[in-house]
C-alpha cells in the first residue's frame, strides 16, 4: 500500500514536471515568436486574467461547480439503480442493453438542444443533460460488476448456506465497487462536459458561457482562464472519486478483486 502510494507520488511528480515543461515551452514560444497574444495568450496572461476578473469567474465558476456536482450525484443514482436492476435479470439485459449501447454509439452530446426545448434555459436543463451524458459509465460499471462476480465465490456462498442478502452485501458488492468507481471516474468528467455544453447551448450563465462570451470578444486569456477553472472543477470531482476508491480499498483490506482501474 505504502509502496504503491510512493510510486504513485513519483509518477505524479513526473507528470507535474512534464506539464510544467509544457507550460514553460508555451510561454517561451508565445514570447519568442511574433504571435499576437489575442490568438494564443501566454500562461502569464492567463494568470493575469484570472486575477483581473475574480468576481465574474467566481460567480460563474460556482454556478458551474454546483450544477456539475449535483449532476454527478444524480447521474450516479441514475446509473446505479437501473444498473442493479439490469444485473438481476438476463431477460431485462437482453431487452434493454442493446438500446443502452446504441445510445452510446450516437453522438448524444448533440442532443443538448432537445433539453432546452423541454426544460428551458435554466439550471434544470443543464443538470438533466449532464445526467443524461454521465449516467452510462456508472450503469455499465454497476451491471458489469454485479453480474461479473466470480462464480466460484458465489458457489462457495451457496454451499456455505449464505442468504441472498449476505451474498449481495459481502460478495457481489465488493466485486462491483471497483468497476462502479471506475465508471464514476468517467462520469465525473462527463458530468462537467454535459454542464459546459449545456452552458454553450443555453448561453445563460456558467464558465461555458464565459468561454463563449470571451471567445466572441477575442479575449483568449479569459477563455483559457475559464478553462483552467473548469479543469480545476473536474480534477476536484475526480479526486473525490479517487479518495472514495482509496477509502474502499482500505476498508476492503486486500487487493481489489477486479484489476481494472483508471
Partner 1 sequence: MSGSALPLPQRLPLLPLATGLLALLLWELLVRWARIPNVLLPSPGSVAGSLWLAAPQLAWHGLATGGAAVGAFVVAVAAGLVLATMMMLWPLVNRLLYPNLLLFQLLPKVALGPLFVVWLGIGLPSLLAFAVFVSVFPVAIGMLTGLRAADANQVRMCQAAGGSNWQVFRHIRLPTAMPYGFAGAKVAATMAFTGATVGEFISANAGLGYMVMQAQAKSDTPLIFAALAVLCLLGAGLYAAVGVAEDAARRRWGTRR
Q: How far apart are CA 248 and CA 185, in angstroms?
A: 14
Is the Cβ of residue 2 or residue 118 nearer to partner 1 in the bound state?
Answer: 118
Nearer to partner 1, 76 or 197 (CB): 197
Q: How far is the CB of 28 from partner 1 (least distance, A)?
A: 15
Identify whether the C-beta of residue 181 lies closer than 8 Å to the C-beta of residue 245. Answer: yes
Cβ atoms of 93 and 86 closer than 8 Å: yes
Report the nearest approach of partner 1 to the CB of residue 161 (Å): 25
- Whole-number minimum distance, CB 250 to partner 1, in Å? 23
Name which of 2 and 191 has its Cβ closer to partner 1. Answer: 191
Give me the residues that bind partner 1 (CB under 8 A), please: 14-19, 21-22, 38-40, 90, 93-99, 101-102, 104-114, 116-118, 140, 143-145, 147-148, 179, 189, 192-193, 196-197, 200-201, 207-208, 211-212, 214-216, 218, 220, 223-224, 226-227, 230-231, 234-235, 238, 258, 260
Name the residue among 236, 248, 213, 229 with its Cα closest to residue 64: 229
Supply the minimum distance, in Å, between the C-beta of residue 123 and partner 1. 18
Length reported for the chain: 262
Q: How far is the CB of 19 from partner 1 (least distance, A)?
A: 6
Compare residues 157 and 258 and give the one whose CB is closer to partner 1. 258
Residue 111 gets which letter from DSSP? G
The C-alpha cell that represents 86 in the structure block: 439490469
Q: Which is nearer to partner 1, 163 or 216 (CB)?
A: 216
Close Cβ partners of 74 (under 8 Å, ≥ 6 residues apart): 127, 130, 131
CA-closest candidate to residue 234, choices 153, 130, 91, 148: 130
Closest separation between CB of residue 43 and partner 1, Å? 14
CB-wise, 149 or 249, nearer to partner 1?
149
DSSP string, 49-117: HHHH-HHHHHHHHHHHHHHHHHHHHHHHHHHHHHHHHHHH-HHHHHHHHHHHHHHHHS-GGGGHHHHHH
Amino acid at each position: 500500500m505504502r509502496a504503491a502510494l510512493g510510486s504513485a507520488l513519483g509518477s505524479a511528480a513526473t507528470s507535474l514536471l512534464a506539464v510544467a515543461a509544457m507550460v514553460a515551452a508555451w510561454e517561451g514560444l508565445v514570447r519568442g515568436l511574433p504571435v499576437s497574444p489575442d490568438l494564443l495568450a501566454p500562461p502569464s496572461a492567463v494568470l493575469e486574467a484570472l486575477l483581473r476578473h475574480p468576481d465574474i469567474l467566481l460567480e460563474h465558476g460556482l454556478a458551474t461547480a454546483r450544477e456539475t456536482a449535483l449532476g454527478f450525484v444524480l447521474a450516479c443514482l441514475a446509473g446505479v439503480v437501473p444498473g442493479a436492476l439490469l444485473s438481476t435479470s438476463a431477460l431485462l439485459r437482453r431487452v434493454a442493453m442493446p438500446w443502452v449501447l446504441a445510445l452510446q454509439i450516437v453522438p448524444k452530446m448533440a442532443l443538448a438542444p432537445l433539453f432546452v426545448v423541454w426544460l428551458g434555459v435554466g439550471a434544470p436543463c443543464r443538470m438533466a443533460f449532464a445526467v443524461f451524458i454521465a449516467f452510462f459509465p456508472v450503469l455499465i460499471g454497476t451491471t458489469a460488476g454485479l453480474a461479473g462476480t466470480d462464480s466460484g465465490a458465489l458457489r462457495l456462498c451457496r454451499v456455505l448456506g449464505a442468504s441472498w442478502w449476505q451474498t449481495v452485501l459481502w460478495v457481489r458488492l465488493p466485486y462491483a465497487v471497483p468497476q462502479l468507481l471506475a465508471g464514476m471516474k468517467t462520469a465525473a468528467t462527463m458530468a462537467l462536459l454535459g454542464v459546459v455544453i449545456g452552458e454553450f447551448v443555453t448561453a445563460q450563465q456558467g464558465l461555458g458561457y464565459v468561454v463563449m462570451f470571451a471567445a466572441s470578444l477575442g479575449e483568449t486569456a479569459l477563455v483559457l482562464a475559464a478553462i483552467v477553472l473548469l479543469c480545476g472543477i473536474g480534477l476536484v470531482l475526480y479526486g473525490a472519486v479517487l479518495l472514495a476508491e482509496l477509502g474502499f480499498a482500505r476498508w476492503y483490506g486486500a487487493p481489489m478483486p477486479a484489476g481494472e482501474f483508471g
